[in-house]
Amino acid sequence: MDLGDALPADHKFVALGAAAVGVFVGGVLLRPFEMALVQFLEGYWPAGSLRGRVFPIAVERHRRRRDQATTLVDGTEAVAPPDNPSLTQLANFHRAMARERRIKERAGRTAAKYSTDDDHLMPTALGNILKNVEERTGRRYGLDVLSAYRRIYPSVAPEFRQAIEEQLDLISVTSSLCMAFGTVSLAASPLIFRMNWWTLIVPIALAASAMAYRGAQRAAQDHEELMKAVFDVHRFDLAAALHYDLPTNAAAERELNQRITAFLIDHTPLADHEELKDEPLKHPEGNPPTV
């Protein structure tokens, strides 16, 4: 069928509109796979795949990077001031002190992105930052973030909830952009041999992919701070929602939270759970109703 007579004289606008519709439809269809995309960038790779074989090498790289940063933070020696310094010596001394401070601050920021436990290291920078959400939010209170947050979510303040949802959307969007620009650079790689303006597509796409990945890391760090605040404020809501007496000190809180976490993870019926089956329940007035 020849639709040339029915289409506008300039077909570029038709192609542009079709491309826009295609991008929109593709975005809608791929939306459910954004979580899998983020997990891919985190480093959750199947053991039998090529990525799984690279996993231990990538983890070792990040372990060395963490250890090197920790050494710089703990082991950098202070610069001793000179005796009776001249103006030039004093200026050099202050420059050396500023340089040492920058090194320590940069190393401290790097070390803060990693878990201190080697078993919890991930093969990517994004994965290590998001892993800290589990390590430094719920587990310091004896809670598993993935299990506990779903249950305290209804009681989370609307301001916290909105901020967390926006941060998660930002992580998903930046991760998607990272993969999209990376795919563009890979698909356009033959253009390198043209040695003209089209060749610039590849480095521009690579730079955009790297910037999007850095943006995902920054969003993940902000997400960690938000989750810390949520558990600091709402951690007792889980015990209250499960109708247990609230602990009165930190040791009792951690012990109760560890037992609750074990119950939530292993799916054992409460009546058969060794840790909680004899724990007394406390119901609000009128709940459950009297017979």
pLDDT in tens, the chain (291 residues): 454 555 555 555 666 667 677 666 666 666 667 778 888 888 888 777 777 788 888 889 999 998 888 888 877 566 666 677 778 877 888 888 888 888 888 888 888 888 888 888 889 998 899 888 878 888 888 888 888 888 888 888 888 999 999 998 899 889 888 888 888 888 888 878 878 888 888 888 899 999 999 999 999 989 988 999 999 999 898 888 888 888 889 999 999 998 988 888 887 888 888 888 888 888 776 555 544
290: phi > 0 → left, psi -120 to 50 → alpha, else beta; which? beta
Residue 79 · residue 100 · CB < 8 Å: yes
pLDDT, position 31: 67
CA distances, 55 to each of 36, 46, 167 (Å)? 17, 9, 27
Cα(50)–Cα(120) distance, rounded to whole angstroms?
21
Phi and psi at 41, nearest 5°, equal: -70, -25
Cα(265)–Cα(218) distance, rounded to whole angstroms?
30
Cα(218)–Cα(222) distance, rounded to whole angstroms?
6
Structure tokens at 164: 């967390």
Cα(128)–Cα(69) distance, rounded to whole angstroms?
15
Phi and psi at 244, nearest 5°, equal: -105, 155
pLDDT, position 14: 65
pLDDT, position 1: 45
Cis peptide before 288, with omega less than 30 degrees from 0? yes
> Which residues, other chains included, contact 43 with Cβ-Cβ below 8 Å and sequence gap of 6+?
55, 58, 122, 123, 124, 126, 127
pLDDT, position 290: 47
Q: Which of 270, 267, 235 lies closest to 254, judged by CA?
A: 235
Torsion over CA of 208, 210, 213 and 215, rounded to 10 degrees? -70
Percent helix, strand and coil across the chain, each to the nearest 5: 75, 0, 25
226: phi > 0 → left, psi -120 to 50 → alpha, else beta; which? alpha
What is the pTM assigned to this prediction? 0.75
Residue 81, SS3 per DSSP = coil
124: phi > 0 → left, psi -120 to 50 → alpha, else beta; which? beta
Cα(18)–Cα(26) distance, rounded to whole angstroms?
12
Cα(259)–Cα(152) distance, rounded to whole angstroms?
16
